[in-house]
Amino acid sequence: METIQIILDALPTLLSGMGLTLEITIISLVLAMVIGLVLGVFSITKSKILRAISTVFVDMIRGTPLLVQILFIYFGIPSVFDVNLTAFAAGVIAITINAAAYLVEIFRAGINSIDKGQMEAGRSIGFSYWQTMRLIVLPQAVRRMIPAFVNQFIVSIKDTSLLSAIGIAELTFSGQSIYAANFRAFEILFAVGVLYFVIIYTLSLLSRWLERRLDVA
């Protein structure tokens, strides 16, 4: 009974942290989708410069730990340049660029999975390369990429736990602050784990529903 009461007492703070976790993840994923789409298209163009930009970005971000990126953005950049980033802004930037590096590959693979005849058909009826990409290729590719998008959402939710390193009161940090005060780590971390599970399991169910709804191949 005492264990349940401890969890109930901590719930408002944990739910607040859960809300911040979702807020950061959603904002970051929206921004990452834009970057990922642009660089994903760059990666399949005939321009060597655009392909190089995409490759360098992906290799740099995927080749370094997310925690290092978070600390670099929050502590490193302000120490050299005249910028003053809040922890929230630094966290969003870090999660955004990290997710974008993986979304680039998702977009590239998704676009390449569409038969090349689709591009040729679009060009044959007078569409430009970009019009064909936007109106014909991407709509088909996005349907196939939905499971990968949801998976990246799940990964990014987990990644937000690293933002506790710069003091953002997301779900993990909220749990840490509670058990640091009441010394009941088992109960609090169990509750934190359950909340993460609820979010991630819900997203997994949504992914399966979307796959059936859109008949993703």
User: Taking the model in full, what pTM does it have?
Assistant: 0.87
Extents of the domains making up the chain = 2-214
The total number of residues shown for the chain amounts to: 217
3-state secondary structure of 72: helix
- Which stretches of 53-97 are assigned E, i.e. beta strand? none
Distances from the Cα of 123 to the Cα of 7, 129, 137, 140, angstroms: 61, 7, 12, 16
Q: Please, are residues 116 and 48 in contact by the beta-carbon 8 Å criterion?
A: no
Burial 163-181 (b: 16+ CB within 10 A, else e): bbbbebbbbbbbbbbbbee
Please report, in tens digits, the pLDDT of each residue of the chain (217 residues total): 677 888 888 889 999 999 999 999 999 999 999 999 999 989 888 889 999 999 999 999 999 999 999 999 999 998 888 888 899 999 999 999 999 999 999 988 888 888 777 777 777 787 777 778 777 888 888 878 888 888 899 999 999 999 989 888 888 889 888 888 888 888 899 999 999 999 999 988 887 887 777 665 4
Q: Which CATH architecture has domain 2-214?
A: Orthogonal Bundle (1.10)
User: Could you give the CA distance from residue 40 to residue 58 in angstroms, rounded to a whole number?
Assistant: 10
The pLDDT of residue 74: 93
* CB-side neighbour CA atoms (13 Å) of 5: 3
User: Could you give the CA distance from residue 201 to residue 113 in angstroms, rounded to a whole number?
Assistant: 28
User: Could you give the CA distance from residue 102 to residue 35 in angstroms, rounded to a whole number?
Assistant: 10
The pLDDT of residue 216: 52
